[in-house]
Amino acid sequence: MKQLDVLIIGGGPIGIACGIEASKKGLQYLILEKGTLTNSLFNYPVNMTFFSTSEKLEMGNVPFMSLSNKPTRTEALEYYRRVADHYDLNIRLYEKVEKVVKQEDGFVITSSKADYLTKNIVISTGFYDLPNLMNVPGENLPKVSHYYKEPWPYVGQKIIVVGGGNSAVDVALETWRKGAEVTMVLKDASVDRSVKYWVLPDVENRIKEGSIKVYYNSSIKDIREKEVFIHTPDGEVTIENDFVLAMTGYKPNFALLEQIGVTLNLDAHSQPCYDQANQESNVKGVYLAGVVCGGLNTREFFIENSISHAVAIIEDISKKIS
């Protein structure tokens, strides 16, 4: 079996950026992606618009043109597909990395389809596969979801949106505009101040006029088929309910990192240990890129500010190999 210079785990925007840099440097590389290309973006809400402008999401000197200055999910899916196509990236889709074993001079990677030998690994596995659970009874009922695609299933339904960040606010507004009866349950005393500045007044005004109901400083206690029990500062409240959309955020899959031996800093949002100069973790030859670098602080890194990880990593690997 031929040894690769670098195997990149995850075909999201940052895995693609790593592939581009590796291809530019003439490295023997492979990207393994467990789903479709940019699988996380594919799973985002159908009507979502990025907060970044298109040029901030560009990579590999390929211009990103979108109809308005902030691209939609569909435009981003098409852009990254074209970029991967343009660079003829060596990428295998629907192939999940399941195991990594360190050897004296590299690693053996076992995927759902094959084994590979590689000198270096980039972990760019993102954060969108594991939701932050509420850990309450009834969370596993079919009417509860931690993901949201589009408003149509919720027309005329009584829904609870849990959370007060961008995703929760987008879901509350979109479903309310399609005729859902929306109640928001927020653990804080207000909607998150980091909500997109052009959306914040919209949700605050809908709450003020009573179109969207809200329980601040509150949490879900119990979810049943027809109702939900909520802890509020004024005591427990029971409301009728058809669907719960828990927009409580997501977290990286730490199992793979821990299996490889990457140390997590439990005092700092479980942030994995790595050298900020070259993104190499405490395990030599294992590099971290993209949102996974922030640990549980999934807002620290996003596409815009992670594209540079790809450059730093591939520069370091090229130097080692030459």
* Interface residues toward ligand FAD, by CB under 6 A: 9-15, 32-35, 39-40, 44, 48, 50-52, 96-97, 124-129, 167, 256, 290-291, 302-304, 306
Look at residue 176 and give its three-state secondary structure: helix
**Complex with ligand FAD: residue 34 or 143, whichever CB lies closer:** 34
Q: Where are the alpha helices (DSSP H) in the chain?
A: 13-24, 39-43, 73-86, 166-177, 200-208, 254-260, 303-321
**Complex with ligand FAD: residue 64 or 243, whichever CB lies closer:** 64
- In angstroms, give the least distance from the CB of 31 to ligand FAD: 9
DSSP string, 95-116: --EEEEEEETTEEEEEESS-EE
- In angstroms, give the least distance from the CB of 133 to ligand FAD: 17
**Complex with ligand FAD: residue 62 or 141, whichever CB lies closer:** 62
- In angstroms, give the least distance from the CB of 230 to ligand FAD: 25
- In angstroms, give the least distance from the CB of 51 to ligand FAD: 4
Q: How far apart are CA 165 and CA 191, in angstroms?
A: 7
Q: Count other C-beta atoms under 10 Å from residue 101's C-beta.
A: 12
- In angstroms, give the least distance from the CB of 50 to ligand FAD: 3
**Complex with ligand FAD: residue 215 or 302, whichever CB lies closer:** 302
Percentages helix, strand, coil for the chain, rounded to the nearest 5? 30, 25, 45
Name the DSSP letter for residue 49: B
- Those residues whose C-beta lies under 8 Å from the C-beta of residue 206, and which sit 6 or more positions away, are 172, 173, 176, 212
**Complex with ligand FAD: residue 243 or 301, whichever CB lies closer:** 301
